Structure 1
């Protein structure tokens, strides 16, 4: 099984799919069945407030 490599911001989560806006402004719709099977790494660009 191939790996899914997307870098962007999650815009929307529905019951069947998730919408990710990539940094080159493309709107990508990914079925949640793929998201459930794929490891996800979260990158946070905002500073941590303490």
Structure 2
């Protein structure tokens, strides 16, 4: 095995895409989780998505 390479400093990130209907369905769950974590601004953003 070699030494330090550029891959030693890279991280993997997953990205998911949903349409408006999917966002509307997930919004109440996302808002609840955000509030449980004390992230009120995120919860309010999710609330707005559920109304759209």
TM bucket (normalised to shorter chain) is: under 0.3
The structure with more strand, counted as a fraction of residues: 1
TM-score by length of 1: 0.28
More helix by share: 2
Q: Could you say which structure has the larger radius of gyration?
A: 2
TM-score for the superposition, normalised by structure 2: 0.27
Query: Quick one: higher RCO (CA 8 Å, sep 6+), 1 or 2?
Result: 2
